[in-house]
Chains A and B, each alone.
Chain A
Amino acid sequence: MMETLLLGLSEVSNINVLLAILIGALIGVTIGSIPGLEPAGVMAILLPLSFSMEPLAGVTLLLGVYGGAWYGGAIPAILMNTPGTPVAVLTTYDGYPMAKRGEGKKALSIAYTASFVGGIISVMSLVLLAPLLSQIATHFGSAEFAMLAVLGMIFVVLAHRKHVLEAAMMLGLGIFLGTVGLDRSYNTQTYTFDQEWLLGGIPLVPAVIGLFAMSQAFVLLSQKGGDSQVTKLTGDGFFGGALTLLKHKITVIRSATLGVVMGLLPGVGEFGSQFFSYTLAQKFSKNPENFGNGEPAGLIASETSNNAVTASVMIPLLAFGIPADALMAMLLAVFMVHNYIPGPTLFAERPEFISGLYISLFMMNVIVFLYLSVATRWIVNLTRIRGRFIGAFILVLGFIGSYSQNYQFSDALIALGFAIFGYMLRKNDIPAVPIILGLVLGPVFLTRFKQALGVSNGDLTIFLTRPISLTLLSLTVGSILIYAWSQLKNRQTVTP
């Protein structure tokens, strides 16, 4: 254990890794502070750059952006009533009223401290749970991995509560897109329409850049309005948040636990955990009527839970190689480029990488917390940058990101195609995340499905006769039935 820790420390002490942690964290905070700019888009742009870095540096750069953004998202949420990231929506409910009544600094301090506690608990859960689950993964065969991929896809679809049909549509599209290209088993072409550039399949990086970054640029370019209205930063210093958190320790523990658990479930993520934490905090509060009017417990529940997801969401990826969301799918791409296959073998063969990853995540949380505690008064100015200006440059960055991986202009045009489609999806409230999950998990499912049936000579009962596979299948069917039942119940409640 100590030896692995030392190995990890030596990995992290590499200057490239340290720079990646620092730059990733600072970029993340910046993105979070600018309303309208999402970490997924920026991570997509940075993805090709991370391929050329050392594995740990590449992964920590992206994780820094991912984790930092959730911290920074609280700034515009509290000072402008505009969430910097989508998961900071609930932070506006109590953070903004606090800022309005002159407690801006206190609200920010609470948000940072709650995020820090959530982030650290999340890293600890990753350290404890990932190796444990990876041990379970050693008992997995093709049938189990196929069923796990199905469960992951079903969870992603069901997580889009009000848009389940749309999410299922997009998942189907993603699965289809994942099959385009050369079929290696028989050397035949699948839906290439004799186009040479499609032989290698739909490239993940341009697809992600188009769907998340460039489509967001179109949204920003169509923004109207002048300077943002930022509430003045007033109140006590930045270090009083810890005391408030101590007063609400039960809320902190409950929200962090919920965040960790929700992070384990593919597709549920930060918003799901934030929603449940906030609702429970209000239910168990002595002053539920204060929620929405500047109640610190609401702010704590919201910020602790969304940051408690950031590391635990990596557990399914590290243990099973199953990405829980589009951001983790991007991380999986970095792993694959460096031939690091997530799963039990990674823990056995690369303990220094895993240990280095844990330490980097811990350091990232500390750096972001310290940076925000000191530099908020300057970071606030970022909220004044006009969306149209950012939008124009996201398109340029989208070009660099999609082109620089293979140095082909066609990749930038593929990104443009996905951007237009992504913009259409945004306009119609159709989720784009399932496309990426389908694109990544679809081929995993199909390969494992074929392998499993190959073992059983085409006998489909292989998925029922193996206990873990049967359990995963039961979970899948159970989740669908529970969703269908809840929908039916809702309909009966609405209809008199």
Chain B
Amino acid sequence: MNATDSPLDKPAGPASSDAGDAASAEQDTPFTEQRTFGIYWLLLAVAAALLILLPEEAKWVTTKRGWYTQPMIGPAIGLSVLMIFTAVRLMISFRLIWLRSIDPIDSLLDTLSNYRVALFSSALFFLYINTLSVFGFALATLMFVTTLLWLSRLLDRFWFACTLGTVSALILIFRVGVSVWLPDVWLYELLPEDLATFANQYL
């Protein structure tokens, strides 16, 4: 390597940092051309809609205490900053968007494909929360983690045993040790009273 070449010019590696800004800039990545900047359009639309709702959602108060005490000042500052910088960002990206035609259906399918793991996991997480009062923390957590591992093709005897061990540790730490309270569970109602009380308290 040349003395003037800094290793800092190398790609930043697999980890990226928010604060550290290790991720590559737009102009550094060959994938830029593929981007539709959908998130910026979404943020712009949300900011605009919220700004339109400002008089409704942060009402003007009749007062002699001065304009600066109005409840709408804070949201107006925040939303204006969001909207202005999103608009500037989109204007800068406009050349890239303009240069190529966008097929909205293709674009939507690409986005869904990119986010499929997050979408599946979120749906399962939602289901997990709703099944907690049906199956209880222990069983619902075991089912949730096992399903996630199965979907990500990591479910074999070894990882299932690891899951069992980790779920047991979580129960010991949080349900027994820290006493995290959870509502009574439907399934435990089927058990004898003493056992049901124990299960509701610890499982």
In the assembled complex, B134 has its CB within 8 A of some CB on chain A:
no
Annotate B53-81 by CB proximity to A: 1 below 8 A, 0 otherwise. 10001110101011111011111011111
Tell me if B92 is interfacial: C-beta within 8 Å of chain A: yes
Partner of B23, one of A35, A325, A429: A429
What is the minimal beta-carbon distance from B79 to any residue of chain A, in angstroms? Answer: 5
Q: How distant is A127 from chain B, measured CB to nearest CB, in Å?
A: 25
Contact A89 B145 (CB under 8 A): no
B25 within 8 A of A: yes
Q: A87-B20, A179-B75, A289-B2 are in contact. Are A413 and B154 (CB under 8 A)?
A: no
Bound Cα distance from A195 to B47, whole angstroms: 19
B interface footprint on A181-217 (CB within 8 Å = 1, 0 otherwise): 0010110111111000000000000000000000001
Give every chain B residue within 8 A of A186 (Cβ-Cβ): 61, 63, 69, 71
On chain A, the number of residues with a Cβ less than 8 Å from chain B's Cβ atoms is: 107
Query: Which size bracket describes the interface of B in this complex?
Result: 35 or more
Contact code string A432-448 (vs B, CB < 8 Å = 1, else 0) = 11000010001100100
Least CB distance from B149 to A in Å reads: 6
Contacts of B148 in A (CB 8 A): 221, 388, 391-392, 395
Collect the chain B residues with CB atoms within 8 Å of residue A433's CB: 18-19
In the complex, what distance in Å separates the CA atom of A385 from the CA atom of B178?
26
* Mask of A87-114 contacts with B, CB within 8 angstroms, 1/0: 1111011100000000000000000000
Q: Is the CB of A89 within 8 A of B114?
A: no
Chain A contact residues, majority secondary structure:
helix
**Does chain B have a CB within 8 A of A483?**
no
Interface residue? A362 (CB, 8 A):
no
CA distance A465 to B40 in the complex (A): 40
Q: Which chain B positions have C-beta within 8 A of A289? A: 1-3
Q: Identify which of A178, A293, A412, A428 contacts B74 (C-beta below 8 A).
A: A178
Flag if B170 contacts A190 (CB, 8 Å).
no
Q: Are A399 and B129 in contact (CB under 8 A)?
A: yes
Bound state CA distance, A442 and B88, in angstroms? Answer: 22
Contact A269 B57 (CB under 8 A): no
Residues of A whose CB lies within 8 Å of any CB of B are 35-36, 49, 52, 81-83, 85-90, 92-94, 159-163, 165-166, 168-169, 171-180, 183, 185-186, 188-193, 217-218, 221-222, 267, 269-272, 274-275, 278-279, 282, 288-289, 291-293, 298, 325-326, 386, 388-389, 391-393, 395-397, 399-400, 403-404, 407, 409, 412-413, 416, 419-420, 423-433, 438, 442-443, 446, 449-450, 453-454, 457-458
Closest 7 CB pairs of A and B: A271-B20, A172-B81, A176-B78, A86-B17, A292-B7, A172-B82, A175-B78
What are 24 A-to-B residue pairs whose CB atoms are below 8 Å? A83-B15, A90-B7, A159-B19, A163-B23, A165-B89, A166-B89, A169-B85, A169-B86, A172-B80, A173-B78, A175-B78, A183-B58, A186-B61, A190-B71, A190-B74, A191-B50, A192-B57, A269-B19, A270-B19, A271-B19, A279-B6, A292-B6, A293-B1, A453-B66
